[in-house]
Amino acid sequence: MIDDFPYLVGELTGSPLRLGTRASRMAIAQADTVAHALRFGVGREVEIVKITAAGDAPAAPHGRQSDSSVFVTALREQVLRGDIDVAVHSLKDLPSTSTDPRLTVAAVPRRDDPRDALVAGARLDELPAGARVGTSSARRVAMLRALRPDLTYVPIRGNIETRIGHIIAGTVDAVVLALAGLRRIGRIAEIAQIFAIDELLPAPGQGAVAIECLTERTDLRHTLGRLTDARTRTAITAERDVLAYLRVGRTDPVGAYAADDGHLLTLTAALASPDGRWARATGTCDSWNATHLSFELATDLLTQLHDSGPRHASAET
């Protein structure tokens, strides 16, 4: 993302932008990249503000509200109160519906690698039957079970270091994490396998960053908007539209990935039913017509599951 922006000559202008981020190592690394782009690509000084909340604790409840959603809420509250100017989120953590009109995602920089990775001593197909794989993602569990139904899938939460720590502690034999996060904190040496997109379809928006500010700050929206990568924004919008049309949330077993070459967009989406059945659909359209394609694929997924058995009825509340 850093190399996408030309370096400016001259002094930085304006008062420092207070950029809020979750206090985990990965989130800070992500925010540092945004801060670097703002300083040297846009010419604004930045002060990084680290936000902590109960959801970052390893012992946080494993309820419907995940630790990431706790931090999205905490960061947004800081923006609304005026304690920070900008919030930096992992885009996949943002809810697909019930947006607050007072807030705007002003920028979506170029996405990092969206694939998932296995941290373990062996590849997935080399793990012994019954091996314990840690992940809190219903999407990952559903897709991994299709590849290895003989493994045991254990819910774990916390930041990347906490999750990998479960391997060291012996509570799990492997964990599945986003490749982009592992790269951001320099732990790619521990990766045993990077899953192909077709093996483990990413979460909508995975690998992308959302930069959010107050809607009324038109000056700030203009400044931040210079960091946006148009193709990334088109692709992740198509992916998240699938969630919206399905009326499910990011915690449901849904995968979506779009690739936009500037003219054509190819979108693949998948949905699992509570009893483990899968529906999958792929389509291509002109980049400007992505919203219609998202609706068509969402309708196709629901039709496939309806025709093959009980209809999927999970929804985020």
- Residue 150 is among the residues annotated as catalytic for this protein: no
Out of 56, 85, 93, 252, which one is annotated catalytic? Answer: 93
Q: Are 132 and 154 in contact (CB under 8 A)?
A: yes
Active site residues: 93
